[in-house]
Homo-oligomer: A and B are copies of this chain.
Amino acid sequence: MTDRLPHTLRSDASDNRERILDAARALFATEGLKAPMREIARHAGVGPATLYRRFPTKQMLATEAFTDEMRACRAIVDEGRAEPDPWRGFCLVIEKTCELHARSRGFTEAFMSTFPDAMDFVAEREYALRSIAELAHRAKDTGHLRPDFVLDDLVLMLMANRGIHTTSKAARVAASRRFAALVIQAFQASPQHSPLPPVARLAPAAPAAPAAPAAPGKIT
């Protein structure tokens, strides 16, 4: 007797499913969550209907696509909490989180945005925030984290980090790294300067070079 409930996907189906997820990850990372469903389907080499049957809504697709990042996020905070020195753990969390978010524009949007319906991210984010709150409390006790630090400061930092856009992903990661270092400088109670990561070349050059002629730069 065959399984009446097709909980197991057909071979081509699961194959397509994987390619869809790969395409979604790639496009979400570069274009953000606003990447058109059609584009994802095209990039995966499937028709729109296939995409929509597998993932009826963009939320579901994003949830599945960002499972890895979600796991990495949880791993980061757990690792930070496990660190013997709370302040060191706190810094690690900030650095790694910034880098993680810098690597995928879409993940940041999904992580920050509050989806009341069915998105698992909310619970995950709350867990992360609560964990960091506890870590921050311990870090304050050691006197390394400034006493007036508030958990919202970390949310502020995440929101700020998402504003960092550059041309290439590498540049964005580098910029985020330096940003994280600056933020840590701002958060520590007894301020002793540690060297900052190198600056990445940002989009608008400082001197009056009239920018690259490549980008048409439409305003839309």
Binding site for B on A (CB under 8 A): 33-34, 57-59, 62, 110, 112-117, 119, 122, 125-126, 129-130, 133, 146, 148, 150-153, 155-156, 159-165, 175, 178-179, 182-183, 185-187, 189, 191-193, 195-196, 199-204, 206-208, 210-211, 213, 215-217, 219-220
Q: Least Cβ distance of A160 to chain B in Å?
A: 4
**Quick one: given A122-B211, A213-B116, A220-B33, are A165 and B156 in contact (CB under 8 Å)?**
no
**Quick one: given A199-B152, A208-B126, A220-B33, are A165 and B175 in contact (CB under 8 Å)?**
no
A148 CA / B196 CA spacing, docked (Å): 8
**Quick one: given A114-B204, A163-B162, are A62 and B219 in contact (CB under 8 Å)?**
yes
Q: Least Cβ distance of A58 to chain B in Å?
A: 5
Q: Which residue of B lies closest to A115 (CB)?
A: B217
What chain B residues lie within 8 Å of A156 (beta carbons)? 164, 175, 178-179, 182, 199, 202
Query: Can you list 27 contacts pairing A with B, beta carbon distance less than 8 Å?
Result: A33-B220, A58-B219, A58-B220, A59-B219, A110-B219, A112-B204, A113-B219, A114-B203, A114-B211, A114-B217, A115-B217, A116-B217, A122-B211, A148-B195, A148-B196, A152-B202, A155-B204, A156-B164, A156-B178, A160-B160, A160-B161, A160-B163, A160-B164, A163-B163, A182-B183, A189-B193, A191-B193
A193 CA / B58 CA spacing, docked (Å): 45
